[in-house]
Amino acid sequence: MDKAILYDSTLCTACRACQVACKQWNENEAVETTNQGSYENPSDLTPETWLKIEFREVERRGKVDWLFNRRACMHCTDAACVKVCPTDALRHHELGFVTYDKELCSGCGYCVDFCPFHVPRSDRNLITGMAKMDKCTFCTTPGLDRIAAGYEPACVKSCPTDALKYGDRSELLAEGKKRVEALQAEGYINAYLYGERELGGLHVMYVLKDSPEVYGLPVHPEVPAAAIAWQDVIQPLGWAVGGLTLIGLGLNYLVAREAKMTRDLPGGKKEESNARRG
């Protein structure tokens, strides 16, 4: 039974308690930032900031609408990061979301390049290439595993308006659909439940009162074609051709050695034997 988080953007007051709780529980350091002219802070996800609330001002029916959106790992079912991670540091939890074991990370940065949501981040030494990725682990970081302990994720725990809920994905899906229908009845005709079907179903679903692009979310997120061409086509092909090549060389050796020995035997075809010796 998959678990999930439901984020209702219409209930969110952008108090950012979730941001603080996330940092506090996961022992991520606070970063000093500068005022960007908005309550939104920090300005972007970083290796130390796995969750942040985005602030958007949208004009609607002649009024300014203040929209909030949660930025963190979406915990995809078809997760590009899991597909391209060469060390298995990124894996699917038995409850469906994408866990991360930092010790195993090689710092290749493939997940950073392939994530359709641009969530994983790393600090990289450009000379040595040394790097470690970081992202939301759904509070399953080894040693800090709230889920295994039977708790809800820290962000959910801290939310004062119940904009964040944790539970069975199927139940939250039904609840999300109900809320979207209610929003549509109120006149928000573009209201949308993000994550129901995107990338095989996300384990963080958003109730939005407008279409995803208004919130800066990709409308059709996809596992990049390069990831499929690479992992599902070229690598298996490489194994197959590689195996055949090695077998071919082995067979060639057996056949050629036999042919040469027969020829070189005394009483073998003399003419050829002479040719070889020049």
Partner 1 sequence: MQEEVEKYRKPTRILHWVHAGAFTLLFLTGLVLFIPPLGPLAQDGWTRLLHRIAAVVFVVAPLIYIPMNWKTTLKGIKEAFTWGVEDLGWLKAAPLYYFVCDEKAMPPQGHMNTGQKMWWFLVIAFGLLFVITGAIMWFAKTTAPPALLQWVVFIHDVAFIVTGLMFFVHIYMSVVHPLVRPLRSGAWSSMARGKVSVDYAKSHHGKWYEEITERRRTAAK
Whole-number Cα distances in Å, 137 to 3, 26, 93: 13, 9, 10
Which one among 42, 109, 167, 218 touches partner 1, defined by CB under 8 A? 109
Q: Report the residue number, 90 or 193, with the smaller CB distance to partner 1.
A: 90
Whole-number Cα distances in Å, 277 to 253, 271, 272: 21, 10, 9
Which one among 178, 197, 257, 270 touches partner 1, defined by CB under 8 A? 257
Q: Report the residue number, 1 or 126, with the smaller CB distance to partner 1.
A: 126
Touching partner 1, residues 131-160 (CB under 8 A): 131
CB of 11 to partner 1, least distance (A): 32
Regarding 43 and contact with partner 1 (CB under 8 A), the answer is no
- Contact segment (CB under 8 A) with partner 1 among 147-155, 187-195, 197-205, 248-256 equals 248-256
Regarding 256 and contact with partner 1 (CB under 8 A), the answer is yes
Regarding 57 and contact with partner 1 (CB under 8 A), the answer is no
Regarding 219 and contact with partner 1 (CB under 8 A), the answer is no
- Contact segment (CB under 8 A) with partner 1 among 43-51, 173-181, 200-208, 254-262 equals 254-262
Regarding 252 and contact with partner 1 (CB under 8 A), the answer is yes
Regarding 104 and contact with partner 1 (CB under 8 A), the answer is yes
Touching partner 1, residues 184-203 (CB under 8 A): none
Asked if 158 and 18 count as a contact pair (C-beta separation under 8 A), the reply is yes
Which one among 56, 91, 124, 177 touches partner 1, defined by CB under 8 A? 124
Sheet order of strands, 3-8 included: 164-168, 3-8, 204-208, 192-194
First to last CA, the chain: 76
Which one among 235, 265, 268, 270 touches partner 1, defined by CB under 8 A? 235
Q: Around Cβ 189, how many Cβ atoms within 10 Å?
A: 11
CB of 55 to partner 1, least distance (A): 25
Regarding 103 and contact with partner 1 (CB under 8 A), the answer is yes
Regarding 267 and contact with partner 1 (CB under 8 A), the answer is no
Residues engaged in binding partner 1 (CB under 8 A): 86-88, 103-110, 112-114, 118, 124, 126, 128-131, 224, 226-227, 229-230, 234-235, 237-238, 241-242, 245-246, 249, 252-253, 255-257, 259-260, 263, 272, 275-278
